[in-house]
Chains A and B, each alone.
Chain A
Amino acid sequence: MRRHIAAIAAAITLGIATTAAHAQQPTEIKISYQPALYWALPFYVAEQKGWYAELGLKPTFSTFPAGVPQIAASASKSWDVGGTGSVPATLGAVRYNLLTIGITNDESYGNALLATAKTAEGFMKNPASIKGQTIVLTANSTGDYAVQSCLAKWGLKKADVTIKSMGQAEIISAMSSGNADLGGLWAPNTYTMEEKAGAKQICSGQDAGAAVPGALIVRADYAKEQPQNVAKFLAVYLRAWKWLNAHQAEGIAMMKKFYEQGGVSISDASLKKEFDTRPTYDLAGQLKIMQRPAGGASEVDGWFTKIGGFMQANGTFPEAPTASKFITDEYLRMVDADPTLKEFANRTN
């Protein structure tokens, strides 16, 4: 009998020990982003600093050259959470039920229409002269949205110009080789064009009054299964921005390394310009812009509603999605409601 009791006690002790050990095992989370972009920097910083591990997360990163393949990869559950542009985020909401759970940054200034050195001044003096010109841009991107907002600001329609769609690298080649005078680009490609080919930014989304946010996204099924992990992911991301904004010099050094890993080499002045022109949001800021007044729409809802309208006009889908159906502050509120996560997200060290 005694032997039986001892065996049961040993089994229970072993079970408790195994469970405890299992509880300390970090949880895997698959994070997706696009390399060498400002809003992706927090992923790199947090990984370097070991902040994911502090919250028991073990990240696996997958990178994509653009938003569309990133969104398409969500169908095969290649990633759980990530960051992307607002246009792909909207596309992902319609096609694969992706949720937007936060804003990476305001990139309204970083998405712009650039002109070659020899033509920029003329276009800036007389924007109407853009009529009949060819603009090379990446169709259905935040860059496209910014360019079309600029055209609208000058009283021009899409039909007034010839739009040729191509990737960002091809746009840089086309403009550098003199095959195109006007191009829609986003940072840091804008800086590359300015520094290496003398191009000039003649209008940005910000100039045209178009809010171009970046989005933090999650697969809806993952969010339902692992809401706590989603909240932790947000807390880590927010802490990284807090730290970057508080330690800008060190942040720029890390940014330089991060961009170079992605094949982008720009001057320190341009790296600093990223910080100066692209506002980010801390926890309180995120909650504020995502707050929906009773029965109303949040500021973020308004931004994405306009983006949905732009995509509908492009023929991407017959009806623009309702922003409130795919944008949620639920996980930000989870961070806010958890004292440990809230404190973590607001740390500057």
Chain B
Amino acid sequence: MIVQRWRRPAWAGVFTFAVVFVAWYVLTTLTQTISPGRFPPPGEAWDALKQIAVTGYADARLSEHVLHSVKLVLLGFTAATVIGVPLGLAMGASRAFEAFVNPAFLLIRPIPPLAWIPLAIVWLGLGDAAKVLIIWFAAFVPAVINSYGGVRAIEPHLIEAARMLGVSRRMAVREVLIPGALPMIFTGLRLSLQACWTTLVAGELIGAIAGLGHVLYQASLDIFPAMIVVGMAAVAVTGALMTMLLGWLERRSMPWRT
């Protein structure tokens, strides 16, 4: 019974966190095997968290930084989803369209999102628009590839059956193509969301006035390891919460899978 309880994922997760925390405390505070200059003890990280949450750091409080980053991620992610998913579906559904779009897509695909930063600044200036564009680039590719792959993975007999039943093109898309591709579309969206957060931190390194990437940049300039840990933890927690939200949306969108 006890063994079964410990097998539950939530308990296992709590146990892992507890072990990591104890190891952190023992190594940095109790035995000081790792010096504070290399990795901050929990006490310093707590002080840094209080500083950014209460008095603020890098020109804003933690809540403002988180909201700013979430705003940028949502904008980039939404734009990538709105453009990338239909594009991937269209490429998967139509050989002619794929032949038309794929060469350009294949050229753009290997370019690292961060390589767009200088051009994004020239095109859109130092504001948030340039950052959203970079995030969009990062999220766009997985959204397209997985939507395309989702359509291609639909078993041909389903499409044949729909044709034989005389289903209209629009209905085939709505009833066969999208539901059939949905599992892979969501896999792509999860990858896109992850890419958004990875790129956001890099995008905010230049010319940002708020955001978690800005916090990390400022903390690196201040050689402030405790604040770096707080910034990283904030990115991790916010990113995990958004992934959980996407998971919830996925379950709601595909009730037949639960």
Contacts and interface: CB of A to CB of B under 8 A. Distances in A.
Interface in B112-168: 118, 121-122, 125-126
Contacts of B51: 315, 318
Contacts of B234: none
Interface residues of A, number: 27
B186 interface: no
Contacts of A165: 207-208, 214, 217-218, 221
Contact of A139 (B37, B121, B126, B218): B218
Contact of B126 (A68, A96, A179): A179
B128 to A, nearest CB: 12
Contacts of A139: 218, 221
B207 A164 contact: yes
B74 interface: no
A164 B220 contact: no
A164 B121 contact: no
A217 to B, nearest CB: 14
B209 A164 contact: yes
B214 to A, nearest CB: 8
A166 B118 CA distance: 13
A252 B223 CA distance: 35
Nearest to A87: B221
A interface majority secondary structure: mixed
Contacts of A166: 206-207
A95 B228 CA distance: 14
A183 to B, nearest CB: 11
Contact of A163 (B57, B206, B209): B209
Contacts of A170: 206-207
A140 to B, nearest CB: 5
Given A75-B38, A96-B37, A174-B121, A136 B207 contact: yes
A216 interface: no
Nearest to A318: B51
A180 interface: yes
Interface string A133-160: 0101001100000000000000000000
Given A165-B207, A166-B207, 13 more contacts: A91-B222, A91-B223, A95-B37, A95-B223, A136-B207, A140-B222, A164-B207, A170-B206, A179-B121, A179-B125, A315-B51, A315-B55, A315-B58
Interface of A: 68, 71-72, 75, 91, 95-96, 134, 136, 139-140, 162-166, 170, 173-174, 177, 179-180, 314-318
